[in-house]
């Protein structure tokens, strides 16, 4: 029965992967357009009957990207700068989970290890997306102070705010140059500047960026010296980054202690189970073992959360 289930899930994963590829090809660049927020332009371009995708493909794409978890997943993929549709990501996750489970079962013929491998494949892909998102956000925030300084100098030299953003996209390094280039492209396509900036804030949820965008929008509505306001914001961002760096250096030992508390018991349990499954089966076959697993899991989670709360200092 387990082999039948694995074969069935593998077939579903392969079909989903192929369907995702077909959907991405038939959408004619729909992912890039959705991330640029130009759905209206997409509708006009698909106005002819020859370019319209299949009704089933369009319905599946809409169901995956516009409802519930699918919409949030599309946002997370955009923030991680992964060029994948929601359908492709789900198909990839299915293949990883089924592949890890099948390989583990063929290797050890153990249901518990197979379930653990499936969970590892499922959460491993999600952790990878989250790590890419955090790394990209951290790099963006690190460049934002210099970026605002470049915009201030450009505005004082007589550039408009849009020309200053174009200068940022030409002079700075990714990821901030790519984001400002998207804003410049959106404005060229006819989207108002405030909406283009809102799209960038959706892709990069940064408090410092939100402060900069608010200052730009207020200046465009009521007027004022934008260069002076941005210069003040740039100084504030630089000081915040400096203080955060000092705090991270002072709390590094505590943060890594939390990681150690959370990961070492899990890794040690897995290694012992692989070396001697009979030794660990007592935890799975007796009521006392079940209680020990629950208590240990709760203790690990609580310890990790308490340490994270202590070292998480808001600036």
Residue with structure tokens 């705010």? 161
Segments in the chain below pLDDT 50: 1-6, 8-9, 11-12, 15, 17-54
Rounded to the nearest 10 degrees, the angle between the axes of helix 86-108 and helix 68-79 is 90
**How far apart, in whole angstroms, are the C-alpha atoms of residue 44 and residue 41?**
5
**For residues 223-253, b (16+ Cβ closer than 10 Å) or e, as one string?**
eeebbebbbebbeebeeebeeeeeeeeebee
- pLDDT (0 to 100) of residue 65: 58
Task: State the pLDDT at residue 149.
Answer: 85
Closest CA to 274 of 124, 118, 117: 117
Contact between 237 and 215 under an 8 Å Cβ cutoff? The reply is no
Q: Could you give the CA distance from residue 132 to residue 122 in angstroms, rounded to a whole number?
A: 16
Distance CA 19, CA 147 (A): 41
pTM of this prediction exceeds 0.85: no
Residue 6 neighbours by CB under 8 Å, 6+ apart: 98, 101, 102, 105
Tell me, what's the pLDDT at 168?
Answer: 86
Predicted local confidence at residue 191, as pLDDT: 86
Structure tokens at 288: 């006392």
CB-based contacts of 102, cutoff 8 Å, min separation 6: 6, 10
Residues across the chain: 315
Q: How is residue 154 written in tokens?
A: 């450009």
């Amino acid at each position: 029965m387990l082999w039948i289930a694995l074969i069935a899930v593998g077939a579903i994963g392969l079909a989903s992967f192929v369907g995702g590829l077909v959907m991405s090809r038939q959408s004619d660049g729909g992912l890039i357009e959705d991330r640029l927020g130009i759905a209206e332009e997409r509708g006009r371009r698909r106005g002819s009957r020859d370019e319209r995708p299949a009704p089933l493909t369009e319905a599946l794409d809409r169901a995956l990207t516009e409802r519930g978890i699918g919409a949030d997943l599309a946002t997370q993929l955009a923030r991680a700068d992964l060029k994948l549709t929601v359908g492709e990501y789900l198909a990839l996750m299915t293949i990883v989970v089924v592949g890890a489970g099948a390989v583990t079962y063929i290797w050890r013929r153990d249901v518990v290890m197979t379930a653990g491998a499936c969970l590892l494949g499922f959460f491993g892909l999600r952790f990878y997306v989250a790590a890419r998102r955090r790394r990209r956000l951290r790099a963006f925030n690190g460049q934002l102070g210099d970026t605002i300084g470049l915009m201030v100098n450009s505005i004082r030299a007589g550039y408009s705010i849009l020309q200053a953003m174009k200068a940022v996209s030409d002079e700075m390094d990714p990821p901030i140059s790519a984001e400002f280039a998207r804003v410049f492209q959106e404005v060229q396509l006819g989207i108002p500047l405030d909406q283009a900036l809102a799209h960038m804030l959706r892709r990069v949820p940064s408090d410092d960026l939100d402060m900069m965008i608010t200052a730009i929008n207020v200046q465009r509505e009521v007027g004022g010296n934008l260069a002076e306001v941005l210069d003040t914001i740039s100084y504030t961002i630089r000081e915040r980054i400096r203080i955060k760096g000092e705090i991270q250096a002072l709390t590094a030992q505590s943060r890594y202690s939390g990681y150690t508390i959370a990961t070492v018991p899990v890794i040690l349990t897995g290694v012992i189970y692989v070396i001697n499954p009979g030794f660990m089966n007592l935890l799975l076959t007796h009521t006392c073992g079940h209680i020990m697993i629950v208590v240990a899991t709760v203790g690990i989670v609580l310890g990790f959360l308490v340490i994270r709360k202590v070292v998480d200092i808001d600036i």
